[in-house]
Amino acid sequence: MGRFRVTLILLLTVLVVQFVAGMIVNLYVAFPGSLPAGSAWAWSFAHTGVVPLHVALGTVILVLSLAAIEFALWAEHRAGALSVGVGFVCVAVAYLGGMWFLTYGQSDLSSLVMALGFIAACVSYTIGLLVTRPDSR
């Protein structure tokens, strides 16, 4: 159970850092309007440092989400496993939103998908922490 809870705390911490990186991208990175669909990947990796950081953090969060599911299953904690399972789906949706953002032209909808996935993942992982407190069983 200890590894599971540590993973949840780590997930929430990295999600906060990811939020800050995402806000920096949103507020301070101006993607050229002339980029053809799909070329924002190459442009952003060549011209910014924060977009690659944002992508790397998203990948770390995705991997940590899978680890959290594994630790919940090892701990045989059904409510914890359910909360991190939902959290993983939310993270995957946010990750896909980011891929969509860079692949198909920086749409507001893809940005919204990332934001909603982020907040839902935060809620799911917080619930996971609450239901796995030592005194909650």
When pLDDT is averaged across residues 4-13 and rounded to a whole number, the result is 94
Kindly report the three-state secondary structure assignment for every residue of the chain: CHHHHHHHHHHHHHHHHHHHHHHHHHHHCCCCCCCCCCCHHHHHHHHCCHHHHHHHHHHHHHHHHHHHHHHHHHHCCHHHHHHHHHHHHHHHHHHHHHHHHHHCCCCHHHHHHHHHHHHHHHHHHHHHHHHCCCCCC
When pLDDT is averaged across residues 101-128 and rounded to a whole number, the result is 93
Q: pLDDT, tens digit, for every residue of 15-32?
A: 999 999 999 999 999 888
Q: pLDDT, tens digit, for every residue of 58-95?
A: 999 999 999 999 999 998 889 999 999 999 999 999 99
pLDDT of residue 2: 84
Kindly indicate whether the domain formed by 2-28+49-131 is annotated with CATH number 1.20.120.
yes
pLDDT of residue 136: 53
pLDDT of residue 107: 85
Domain boundary assignment for the chain? 2-28+49-131
